[in-house]
């Protein structure tokens, strides 16, 4: 296996993110909100997909109507040999059954029961991720500060699969203007034409929530709007981890957001920086890979929190595309080649903010040390962006619970 110097990758990142000419975009996955910790125990402000799944399964048992329906749903996963379905799998399954049930029944669940499950799961997701961003220096604030620090030829685009409102809160707290596909004040409406024409100034960031948002709703006429109050519970929340239900109309947000990702990947010289994304969404993977295949000047760099062995999907995909780099804690894939960070037998250099050292053998902490790259932690990446923006580093404290 080849040995690569992680400091070269850090230098390349600094060069890319300091450019005011290149089209730049961030892709924030479910691992990013986990990096925001709150007191007293330093727990994540918002859980990851696994934590959200456990929470939904536990809390839905207290709903007399939905509890037996969830038992039926989980029994279907067992029958289909899907042993650890996520909350996203559940919504996908419910909506696939609802699409074929019509006014009747699919796999023992009526259309009314499927609607109840859909609403029940979405309500629990809403309650779990509807959190206020702490005031302290969070990586979301640091990302917003970096966006606002440099006047660029092209707008910074933020893609996210998360339903929460953390990115919006951070952008607004740092007075960064942004466009998210909606127009209006009292009840902003989804405006596909504005997304397609996109004549806003480059200083406006673009925020594309690929899987919807807890404050998006769809009324009985099919119109999608962004709620500004909490009195819209009568309409259906637009939370869609699967695209199955949303192929019926090009005017619905999901495909429009995907089109924005597809369009960005075709921009000459574009760089997409991914963080907190596990590459387990095959549809999104396909869009990213197609963009990389269509333009050799486009690059994607994925910063992974775990080791190479803990990121099999990302590693496998990067080995098929030389312009997709995957940088893990102990190595990665660069130029399509699997690599590892160097090992020092003794006298390892002092650790830096982004590059540390860990024992090759955990049982021998004083033995050979391997370099580690820590930028896959969104909290560390936030401090990296602060430094690039010329902001003095603030201590990353655990914020008080909101």
Q: Within a domain: residue 394?
A: no
Q: Within a domain: residue 212?
A: yes
Q: Within a domain: residue 393?
A: no
| Same domain? 188 vs 323 | yes
Angle at 49 between CA 329 and CA 292, to 5 degrees: 60
pLDDT score, position 313: 96
Question: pLDDT digit string (tens) for 161-178?
Answer: 999 999 999 999 999 999
Q: Within a domain: residue 270?
A: yes
Question: Which of 72, 100, 129 is the endpoint of a domain?
Answer: 129
| Contact by Cβ (8 Å): 56, 118 | no
Q: Within a domain: residue 311?
A: yes
Q: pLDDT band at 241, cuts 50/70/90?
A: low
The answer, yes or no, to whether residue 397 has pLDDT greater than 60, is no
| Same domain? 124 vs 184 | no
- pTM of the predicted protein model: 0.90
The answer, yes or no, to whether residue 399 has pLDDT greater than 60, is no
Q: pLDDT band at 249, cuts 50/70/90?
A: very low
Residue 236 CA to residue 221 CA, distance in Å, equals 11
Question: pLDDT digit string (tens) for 123-182?
Answer: 899 899 999 999 878 999 999 999 999 899 999 999 999 999 999 999 999 999 999 999
Residue 178 CA to residue 360 CA, distance in Å, equals 45
Q: pLDDT band at 250, cuts 50/70/90?
A: very low
More confident residue, 277 or 91: 277
Q: Within a domain: residue 273?
A: yes
pLDDT score, position 145: 96
Q: pLDDT band at 402, cuts 50/70/90?
A: very low
| Same domain? 241 vs 340 | yes
More confident residue, 55 or 228: 55
The answer, yes or no, to whether residue 277 has pLDDT greater than 60, is yes
Q: Within a domain: residue 401?
A: no
pLDDT score, position 400: 43
The per-residue pLDDT of the chain, averaged, comes to 89
| Same domain? 193 vs 272 | yes
| Same domain? 242 vs 293 | yes
Q: Within a domain: residue 358?
A: yes
In this prediction, residues 74-79 reach a mean pLDDT of: 96
Q: Report strand pairing: 178-179 vs 37-38.
A: unpaired
Question: Which of 80, 104, 129 is the endpoint of a domain?
Answer: 129
| Contact by Cβ (8 Å): 156, 26 | yes
| Same domain? 70 vs 141 | no
Question: Which of 74, 95, 129 is the endpoint of a domain?
Answer: 129
What values do phi and psi take at 86, rounded to 5? -90, 170
| Same domain? 66 vs 178 | no
pLDDT score, position 92: 86
| Same domain? 6 vs 70 | no
Question: pLDDT digit string (tens) for 188-233?
Answer: 999 988 998 888 999 999 999 998 898 998 887 878 899 877 655 5
Range of the domain at 352: 2-45+132-388
The answer, yes or no, to whether residue 393 has pLDDT greater than 60, is no
What burial letters (b/e) apply to 260-284, b meaning 16+ CB within 10 Å?
bbbebbebeebbbbbbbbbbebeeb
| Same domain? 354 vs 378 | yes
Question: pLDDT digit string (tens) for 318-371?
Answer: 999 999 999 999 999 999 999 999 999 877 778 888 999 988 888 888 889 999
pLDDT exceeding 90 applies to what percent of the chain?
68
| Same domain? 199 vs 60 | no
| Contact by Cβ (8 Å): 67, 83 | no
How buried is residue 121: exposed, middle or buried, by Cβ count under 10 Å (0-12/13-18/19+)? buried
Q: Structural domain tally of the chain?
A: 2
Residue 49 CA to residue 87 CA, distance in Å, equals 7
| Same domain? 222 vs 157 | yes
Residue 178 CA to residue 195 CA, distance in Å, equals 12
| Same domain? 260 vs 118 | no
Residues 6 or more apart whose Cβ sits within 8 Å of residue 391: 142, 145, 149
């Amino acid at each position: 296996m080849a040995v690569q110097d992680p400091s070269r990758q850090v230098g390349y990142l600094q060069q890319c993110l300091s450019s005011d000419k290149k089209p730049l975009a961030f892709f924030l996955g479910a691992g990013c909100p986990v990096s925001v910790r709150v007191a007293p125990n330093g727990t994540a402000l918002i859980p990851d997909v696994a934590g959200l799944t456990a929470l939904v399964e536990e809390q839905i048992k207290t709903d007399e109507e939905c509890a037996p329906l969830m038992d039926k749903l989980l029994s279907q996963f067992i029958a289909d040999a899907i042993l650890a379905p996520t909350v996203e799998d559940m919504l996908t399954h419910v909506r696939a059954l609802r699409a074929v049930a019509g006014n009747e029944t699919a796999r023992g669940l009526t259309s009314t029961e499927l609607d109840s499950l859909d609403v029940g799961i979405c309500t629990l997701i809403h309650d779990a991720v509807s959190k206020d961003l702490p005031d302290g220096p969070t990586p979301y604030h640091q990302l917003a500060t970096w966006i606002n620090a440099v006047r660029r030829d092209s707008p910074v685009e933020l893609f996210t699969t998360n339903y929460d409102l953390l990115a919006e809160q951070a952008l607004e707290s740092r007075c960064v203007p942004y466009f998210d596909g909606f127009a209006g004040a009292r009840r902003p409406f989804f405006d596909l034409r504005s997304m397609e024409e996109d004549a806003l100034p480059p200083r406006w960031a673009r925020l594309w929530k690929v899987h919807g948002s807890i404050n998006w709703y769809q009324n009985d006429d099919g119109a999608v709007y962004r709620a500004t109050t909490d009195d819209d519970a009568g309409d259906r929340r637009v939370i869609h981890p699967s695209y199955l239900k949303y192929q019926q109309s090009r005017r619905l947000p999901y495909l429009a957001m995907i089109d924005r990702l597809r369009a960005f990947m075709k921009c000459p010289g574009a760089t997409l920086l991914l963080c907190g994304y596990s590459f387990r969404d095959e549809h999104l993977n396909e869009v990213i890979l197609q963009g990389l295949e269509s333009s050799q000047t486009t690059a994607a760099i994925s910063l992974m929190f775990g080791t190479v062995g803990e990121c099999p999907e990302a590693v496998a995909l990067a080995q098929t595309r030389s312009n997709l780099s995957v940088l893990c804690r102990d190595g990665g894939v660069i130029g399509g080649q699997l690599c590892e960070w160097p090992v020092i037998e003794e006298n390892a250099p002092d650790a830096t903010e982004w590059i540390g050292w860990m024992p090759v053998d955990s049982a021998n902490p004083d033995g050979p040390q391997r370099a580690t790259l820590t930028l896959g932690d969104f909290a560390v990446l936030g401090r990296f962006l602060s430094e690039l923006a010329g902001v003095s580093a603030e201590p990353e404290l655990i914020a008080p619970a909101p």
